[in-house]
Structure 1
Amino acid sequence: MPVTDEDAALAAIATLEHLSAEQTTALQAINTILHNDEPFADIHELFAHYNVLYFRKLLLPRVEVLWSPRLTLCAGICELSRDASTGRFTRIRLKLSTPLLQYRPRSDFINTLIHEAIHAYFFVTTSWKHSRGDDGTGHGVGFQLLADAINNHGNYNVTIYHTFHDEVDSFRTHVWQCDGPCQSQPPYLGLVKRSMNRAPGKGDNWWARHQAECGGTYTKIQEPAPTKKQLEAMSTKERAGRQKNKLDSWVAAGVRKGAKTEGGTSDKPIDLVEDKTLAGQKRSRADDDDLLRVEKKLLVECPICNLKIAESDINEHLDTVHT
């Protein structure tokens, strides 16, 4: 009969009843690291000690541990690595999220490290057939048994799900809004937020249900500003298109706001430049008629350098300065 997660969990828990000399040494090393008052800890060193203390020395060298700067939707992940030549899963990669964990208390990254190590342990002991559990996430009876035992033994707080919701949401900068009935239905109100630029579509497991129950169309309403490298990679036409879209939206906002006048509001854009005489010129009756004045113009902000430019001159400014 194949080993289950529960079987593997009980085997690991049994080793905690009477620690071996090697486990005791690992425990002492872990306590030294956890109480050294340093803000950071070496994940590879900790992982090696946890491998001895809690996981029957089965994780190394099969499991690779690393920080991931691209992991933004979860604090950690344990993934199988397939051998290119044989097609078999031969290694396990354990990743911790740099963006979500680097500024949080050290205990958060340690709890996440142990959480993912439990998954890795089950992948090793159950012949790469880690049980997905009742909820389909791999956090079944076996996971809960071993996590509870480790929490009680070392006073950890290994949980099934993390609570870093604000951090995760801060990276979901690509946003789409549905124009159908679901835009008035909580909790999502027709919004889809993602950290990557992938529009809602058939690849989403909820798409068919959305089409049947709502049928609305998603339109992108927010995205992060392009990086300098992305701007440099754009063609002149693409950059011009982005500039035109920003200018159009800016002017449209001014029209909607309207300029306040003595009896109400005007539908015209707000003028940001007043009529003024040229600075430093003495005014006299003799030259009143010849006095030069700056023409009243609408100023707009350059989307690249933020310089205020007359609306009629913005295209020339973009062509000559930023092309």
Structure 2
Amino acid sequence: MATTTRTTGTAADRLAVQRRPRKRVDPTFYLFLLPTITLFTLFITVPALLGAGVSLTNYIGFGDFDVVGFSNFRVLFTDPNIRDAYGFTLLFALVTVVLTNVIALLLALGLNAKIHAKTFLRSVFFIPMVVSGIVIAFVFNYLFSTSIPQVFDAVPALQTSLLANPDWAWFAVVIVTTWQAVPGAMIIYIAGLLAVPDEVYEAAALDGAGASRQFFSITLPLMWGYVIINTVLGFKGFLSTYDIIVGLTDGGPGTATRSVSMVIFSGFTNGDYSYQMANALVFFVLTVVISILQLQLIRRRGVQL
């Protein structure tokens, strides 16, 4: 009888919940939402649909055109220049996101410690984030081309500019991009460290846990959600990096550092409008797939963002 009563009570509770009148949404909410939806439709959705249509033609940016179906896509998947651009972009994004997160986490740990002038140092490390990417690229271009070869003249690998070396120019781009991206990731990590109670570390210290043990057993597990946030946002942003590469190498030497974004943009002005529109559509699908895979990884790990 007890079991029957509990079951009946649970069913009654569910029925009562279902019968509760739903709260009506204030029409003002839709009024304020309308401008955002309108702008998003006009400047994002409509251009995307038009671009998808153009990718099925031989349009060069002006004049007449014919529908060619999926010819642009067939050529795209066999083009070595496109393949090299995707290879560079994916490798660059992967290496940069790893370096950015490692350096940002180490700096956040240092700036969250009990040190003097903590606020001042945080402000100093935040500066690269507010400087324009193209300005940063031109400054580092001068450093790599002039200052570093003169200062490190005794090092054979640095006697000439890294930007002129086809094998190492990509790493110079990684260095500069990481330098600019670290402050943003560092702020997120500092916010995560401030959310960890001090009592947890005090209890671990009483149990004899050293600094390294506290980091791997307490800090890193509690910070895992923030690591995921920085990884997802960073990888997405690095896939579309454009200004730093243009100001630093302009895709050179040769085509060694040409990203997908550069290839797409250059095609719009060189008569490859429909071809690069197809490339942009493929790049968009790739970015969406990577984002979905990252979200699936987050859910499997049980991370709450």
TM-score past 0.5 threshold: no
Q: Rg larger in 1 or in 2?
A: 1
Which structure has more helix as a fraction of its residues? 2
Higher RCO (CA 8 Å, separation ≥ 6 residues) = 2
Which structure has more strand as a fraction of its residues? 1
